[in-house]
Amino acid sequence: MLDNGEAVTRRTEARSGEGSAFVLSRGVVMLFAVACGAAVANVYFSQPLLVTMGHDLAMSPALVGSVVTLTHVGYGLGLFFLVPLGDVADRRRLIVAQLLLLVVALAVVAAAHTAAILLAGMAAIGLLAVVTQTLVAFAASLAPPAGRGRVVGLVTSGVVIGILLARTASGLMADLAGWRSAYLASASLTALLALVMYECCRATVTLRRQPCATDSSCAPRSPCSHGNDCCGSGPCSVC
């Protein structure tokens, strides 16, 4: 008979090992880092493009300034409303859905011909760019406890690199092909990342749904609240 402390410890270990059936290779960690960097870069793309946007859409200086404001307001709302969904919904589906919706928002901005459409699109980009936070949390949940700090550090480094390179990349693309090209390129990259993330997430589901081993040394299994067949640790890890 387990006392309460041991029972709590075992349940905690089982939950922390939720992604232990899936091995995070360096390539997968780099994929998460690139996805984070690409998503957060969209928040900062507009900063060197404001003057060009204003001239193209005949916007007043005050209205041009609201482009950046609305993007960050959208990001703040996303942190408040969307990020917590990762605790109650399937992070795999949430990440792919947010990336696909981000593609739509980027396409809307790239095709905008009025200030109202542009501002609405920028707010949507900010709202959906918080997929970065969900990606970091998902990577942490998949990493083994011993390597969790390294994985989170690598993924968040993608966030920093995305922020630093966003303005340079958008300014360069605007000089070469106009300001809309930056959002078209980002929409294409985000769509590709959504497809790759979908395949990667399918791999985690396939591995976690493998049948449980029937080893007599395994501790008794109990139904899991997060949808797996059984709980445990070590050789009898979550299935």
Q: Of all helices (H) and strands (E), which one includes residue 199?
A: helix 179-208
**Beta carbons of 35 and 197 less than 8 angstroms apart:** yes
Percent over 90 (pLDDT), the chain: 72
Q: Does the pLDDT of residue 125 top 70, yes or no?
A: yes
What's the pLDDT score for residue 25? 85
Cα(178)–Cα(156) distance, rounded to whole angstroms?
Answer: 30
Q: What is the pLDDT of residues 79-106, one digit of tens each?
A: 999 999 999 999 999 999 999 999 999 9
Q: Which two tokens stand for residue 81?
A: 């409303």
The angle at the Cα of 124, spanning 83 to 186, to the nearest 5 degrees, equals: 95
Nearest to 208 by CA among 20, 7, 5, 15: 20
Mean pLDDT lowest among 64-78, 148-162, 215-229: 215-229
pTM: 0.78
What's the pLDDT score for residue 9? 40
What's the pLDDT score for residue 204? 63
With H, G, I as helix, E, B as strand and everything else as coil, classify residue 232: coil
CB atoms within 10 A of CB 105: 24
Q: What is the pLDDT of residues 173-221, one digit of tens each?
A: 999 999 999 999 999 999 999 999 998 877 665 555 444 444 444 444 4
Number of H helices, E strands in the chain: 9, 0
How far is the first Cα of the chain from the last one, in angstroms, to the nearest whole number?
A: 24
